Structure 1
């Protein structure tokens, strides 16, 4: 059938309406017309196709079938709808089946030919055909090969929507995707997460290795992002080193945090480009619709604010959007001013956490840790103010003060006990850092071998020549050097062979539970120990808070351990007291894990019980529970809902109760918020709040209470408010 000339399919047909029946009966005129048709077909100017009455392909011009090779014989006899497939996204092409089924004429429908190894696009036209008796015999039509034009147009459209360097969606396409997704998801009451991301230290690569290396790096970043997402979301490059990721149907902040951590970890691995080897990092900000916004502008701004906060928090971090980020810039500036004033007024002090030799439980070192006692804020933890000090370069005078003060304290300690000081990259890169260390050693009189400088891996990312000069200078002074939190993927093994390091320190991130091990990644710990042994270095581990973990590290051969399993940080006076008693040994304690999990906080939160709403003071917070103050005579076993604000509700049960203080256990564990704090996995859906009368928008703290219709606290027979509790007033909201 495939070899039959197209003209044969028209033999015996009835003249069309309006056609001169006499002319149709003249053999010469008819043959002449058909010859012209065959000439056009053979020349490839136009192709023809035909189907039988059952809708199966009966004929296709040789100009088309020649491209099909062996597949040509297999498509004849197949249903037309299986041979000519609609182009994805073309609504008109999808109507082909309807036209064929209802025997309606059609013109210029764009389809692709379905055959193995063939990439042919046709513009198809057809009309139903009948015999002399009026019986339907199939479709007859024409086809034009538009493959080249279609691919050119498709490529032009692709270039208009996708980044030419990385192949990721460009800014325009991402805007369209976010708009369409949020619109559709709002109607369906579904959630979507938006991640804003930019690369840390990318400019340094461009400046040192050149723009060609920067382009190669961006292409590798795109590939790693695709691998990290695994097809779960749309990834876009907005320009430069800015990226955007849209993840539909995810509002679990625990899951999103894990995705962000994975992205940060993967992008922090070393890259190889033609000009050499480079290492970068990234920071991520996360906003979730509809909680943080229901329009693209709202959600993008929220994610941008979260990204800005993550970069200011020290980079290499992720942050979720929170309402207080709106004021974080002002709060940050105020804290910078207060830090400068605290330096002038002497509001800083140092505490020392023991580092213990596992083989003997003997204290071999004390790590100095900064403390800031502020009149308004109270005790401010170092992880809160040090990133701000680094960003403002206040870390340079603060670090110098700490170094001098610690050396003055340590000179009184016995020789076996070393002083350990963490050095930030800002300090290390500052002009005259090595000279400062030399001056402090001379002024304090401490032996250089008793000073151990703890360097984060990120110091290795600076200018290689400057880093090597500084390391060589410190080595000549005789101080000990430790690479802190080794194993985050930033260090070059070849550099480790050359660097004058004494110790590799394993960070607490290795001890976070993973699949198959509650103790963390013990295989990586074993690898670090083997590497250190091969290079003649010692190993230390920080953040060790549980006996079981300590025993496993002892079994693996870690030399030194630091963490609550042995001791929390101690004041200088307490250190002197312990040293005065002779050789200092510390027995490990099970209480370590309890101290590690407890985070001291002091703020107001809401508490819902039955139909009443109270404001209480949150004193301690952990993943699994909290301590509150503000209600008296609360029986154990009582169930509450803790309202952290912003739709964050945690169901909890009273496990301990004493006077006006209660210990609560959460029904579901809290998750990392990316800023060193904790948050609930889920929030009350704004769609639920909207159905309760609250506007569908990003919601301030306390809105959960209004939406749930919970009454303010009144006279309550079972619970009486403590005199120490925050004042209870009608209509008061959780802070």
Structure 2
């Protein structure tokens, strides 16, 4: 096969392509020049016929791919090489096939050879120019090519470094921000949803401090691997820096599904890690926001997810939380609580109340757990669930813990007989080098027998220095106090704790008691296993959170040593206890429902209720996953279909199951789900896209109800309201 002239390939591809004068093949100097260029491997040449089939390719080009030139000649150029574009190149140039079909000239188009047996990634750059004969008939392309594998790989590596985290291989902050912006912009146009999950690791700093930064890096790698395994390839996962991670989940707005994912993430990330022969245990908190409900653009959605994460951490860590508009007020309130908590001790606003632990089968109190109460001078009672997590994030917890220990020992010293007091000890307090001295001073100042003091410790204490932890356990046992493992089985459990730590008692977390009497629930089997394990190790067991008679019967039958819960009593003030002791009564009467039922939250707030084409206002009195009690409509027939408007776009389809005068019990068609905290929410919400179609501006869902829902369309010809609404103003104001 004859070669082509220097003039065929020497000019720029941008030169006039009207014709390619043919140089006689006898021009030996020109041919020798082309041969020398090819032999030096400075560049390669190629040519095609009118159909785009290769008629010539420099031999060394084929050799670089590990294939024979004869296997390539005769194939179409677009079958031999394909366009290679990075994300940044996308859309900037027309495809190679288009350029060839339009007979355009092109310069330095990046391509990847299709053939090749070397196994080494290869990239070329090709330039080409259409050629025509004297009659201006197209005769094919002439062009040059060169190997740019080294520079292209370097460019890819540099691009990856700019977009991906070098430690974990996940997307970095820059890429996640870019992906989220592009996704939300595209999804807004197509009216699609997108969920954003924000995570950070609990107790990661302790791993860094105790095992060193290399161990911390290895831990982050393993966390990244677990995230990829849990979430899969249908999501974008990124590490934003430090111990912060982010997950973008396209086309997901089902909060039930997202809640399940949040729980799975927490559970899997909380499993132990093996790092250079050491054992590390961490946790995670998860904040969840969904576009367009919680934010339209990237900045708004990230802010919403951040607030949800902040709330999850503030509610005790190891939890997930959905964003809601009231979290903005909650963040300000949390800051105020932190400031006021610092003065609570000085202002004598803290108290200890005591909840009994009852000997199974006897109704007799054997121990009382000290529970902290805060009566704020202006805001009244503040839940421990609000202020204890805040205290644990600051140095305040050490002062509160010392105060509680001193007060509990003094109070217990006033109780008769050998009744014990149990005091919760935070991981921060336990790891304090002065903790042993605090316990000694509390016992000495009160005169309390050490055997009457129980220290309730959560598994998070094992996150610290294992040698220091073991040493503290031994010192406390030499002192004579009893040790209890609190909240056993809630995320970080290990039989190694029970083997290595001298516990006297295990507390079965109330989450295992809840629902244990329901059919097809595995909690009863878990309780049995924990009790059997404790018996084998010579430890007592406490069943927490027992509220109904069937739960009491179950945990007693399964062998729990002690019972704690509202079926016997809530926490009582010291003066109330002393009054009962004077009467010689240390027994508690069972008071509770016969059967466990879905947890109901007593609430009093106005909500909307929609029936047919009319909207009413009712008072929501009780709320559970499966139903609610409402008041405000007279004589609603049983079986009536309703829609309850819970605000913020939450509509729950329901049916009336009980009705008496102005009070109805309703059952939801689809059960509500946990919002990750103490509340309930619907799986789905009214879409902002639907609100925008009805005339409202496109925006994240605001709190309250919306005109679209309040002014529901009236059916043709109008209709009269089916029910008489009762004026509840006087009753509930």
Q: TM-score if structure 2 supplies the norm length?
A: 0.82
Instruction: Check the 8 A contact 2:295/2:699 in 1, yes or no.
Output: yes
Inter-partner Cα distance in structure 2 for 1:657 and 1:540? 40
Query: Paired residue for 2:692?
Result: 690
Query: Paired residue for 2:269?
Result: 267
Matches within 5 A, 1:418-433: 419-429=421-431, 432-433=434-435
Q: Secondary structure at the match of 2:677?
A: coil
Q: Is 1:720 matched with 2:720?
A: no
Q: Is 69-78 or 674-683 further displaced after alignment?
A: 69-78
Match of 1:28 among 20, 26, 40: 26
Q: Is 451-460 or 631-640 further displaced after alignment?
A: 631-640
1:110 Cα deviation after fit: 1.1
Q: Secondary structure at the match of 1:323?
A: coil
Inter-partner Cα distance in structure 1 for 2:524 and 2:51? 67
Q: For residues 19 and 412 of structure 1, do their structure 2 counterparts lie closer, same or farther at Cα, with a shift above 3 Å needed? A: closer
Deviation by residue 1:540-573 (Cα, 9 ceiling, x = unmatched): 4435668888888788x66447566965636576
Inter-partner Cα distance in structure 1 for 2:637 and 2:377? 36
1:285 Cα deviation after fit: 2.2
**For the aligned residues, what is the CA RMSD?**
4.4
1:672 Cα deviation after fit: 1.7
Match of 1:162 among 153, 161, 164: 164
1:722 Cα deviation after fit: 3.5
Instruction: Check the 8 A contact 2:171/2:239 in 1, yes or no.
Output: yes
Query: Paired residue for 2:111?
Result: 111
Query: Paired residue for 2:82?
Result: 85
Query: Paired residue for 1:678?
Result: 680
Q: Is 1:67 matched with 2:70?
A: no
1:361 Cα deviation after fit: 8.9
Q: For residues 46 and 407 of structure 1, do their structure 2 counterparts lie closer, same or farther at Cα, with a shift above 3 Å needed? A: same
Instruction: Check the 8 A contact 2:308/2:323 in 1, yes or no.
Output: yes
Q: Is 1:475 matched with 2:472?
A: no
Q: Is 1:210 matched with 2:207?
A: no
Q: Secondary structure at the match of 1:309?
A: helix
Matches within 5 A, 1:110-129: 110-115=110-115, 117-128=119-130
1:303 Cα deviation after fit: 2.0
Q: Secondary structure at the match of 1:285?
A: strand
Q: Structure 1 unaligned runs (5+)?
A: 728-735
Q: Secondary structure at the match of 2:95?
A: helix
1:454 Cα deviation after fit: 2.0
Query: Paired residue for 2:596?
Result: 593
Query: Paired residue for 1:221?
Result: 223
Instruction: Check the 8 A contact 2:488/2:507 in 1, yes or no.
Output: yes
1:518 Cα deviation after fit: 4.2
1:684 Cα deviation after fit: 1.2
Inter-partner Cα distance in structure 1 for 2:375 and 2:176? 46
Instruction: Check the 8 A contact 1:506/1:540 in 2, yes or no.
Output: yes
1:346 Cα deviation after fit: 6.3
Instruction: Check the 8 A contact 1:236/1:245 in 2, yes or no.
Output: yes
Matches within 5 A, 1:345-364: 348=351, 350-352=353-355, 354=357, 357=360
Instruction: Check the 8 A contact 2:286/2:312 in 1, yes or no.
Output: yes
1:148 Cα deviation after fit: 0.9
Instruction: Check the 8 A contact 1:65/1:72 in 2, yes or no.
Output: yes
Instruction: Check the 8 A contact 1:625/1:666 in 2, yes or no.
Output: yes
Inter-partner Cα distance in structure 2 for 1:660 and 1:708? 21
1:210 Cα deviation after fit: 3.2
Q: Secondary structure at the match of 1:636?
A: coil
Question: How many residue pairs end up in the alignment?
Answer: 710
1:80 Cα deviation after fit: 3.2
1:112 Cα deviation after fit: 0.5
Q: Is 251-260 or 441-450 further displaced after alignment?
A: 441-450
Matches within 5 A, 1:307-706: 307-335=309-337, 344=347, 348=351, 350-352=353-355, 354=357, 357=360, 367-370=369-372, 381-391=383-393, 404=407, 408=411, 412=415, 419-429=421-431, 432-438=434-440, 440-441=442-443, 447-490=449-492, 493-494=495-496, 496-509=498-511, 518-520=520-522, 532=534, 535-543=537-545, 559-560=560-561, 562=563, 567=568, 569=570, 571=572, 591-594=594-597, 597-706=599-708
Q: For residues 571 and 539 of structure 1, do their structure 2 counterparts lie closer, same or farther at Cα, with a shift above 3 Å needed? A: closer
Q: Secondary structure at the match of 2:697?
A: coil
Q: Is 292-301 or 237-246 further displaced after alignment?
A: 237-246
Query: Paired residue for 2:35?
Result: 38
Q: Is 652-661 or 619-628 further displaced after alignment?
A: 652-661
Deviation by residue 1:442-488 (Cα, 9 ceiling, x = unmatched): 66666544443321111222344543343223212333222222344
Inter-partner Cα distance in structure 2 for 1:200 and 1:37? 67
Instruction: Check the 8 A contact 1:352/1:369 in 2, yes or no.
Output: yes
Q: Secondary structure at the match of 1:63?
A: helix
Q: For residues 620 and 717 of structure 1, do their structure 2 counterparts lie closer, same or farther at Cα, with a shift above 3 Å needed? A: closer
1:368 Cα deviation after fit: 4.7
Instruction: Check the 8 A contact 2:412/2:421 in 1, yes or no.
Output: no
1:183 Cα deviation after fit: 0.9
1:202 Cα deviation after fit: 2.9
Query: Paired residue for 1:293?
Result: 295
Q: For residues 398 and 151 of structure 1, do their structure 2 counterparts lie closer, same or farther at Cα, with a shift above 3 Å needed? A: closer
Q: For residues 20 and 320 of structure 1, do their structure 2 counterparts lie closer, same or farther at Cα, with a shift above 3 Å needed? A: closer
Q: Structure 2 unaligned runs (5+)?
A: 9-16, 715-719
Q: Secondary structure at the match of 2:643?
A: strand
Q: For residues 437 and 587 of structure 1, do their structure 2 counterparts lie closer, same or farther at Cα, with a shift above 3 Å needed? A: same
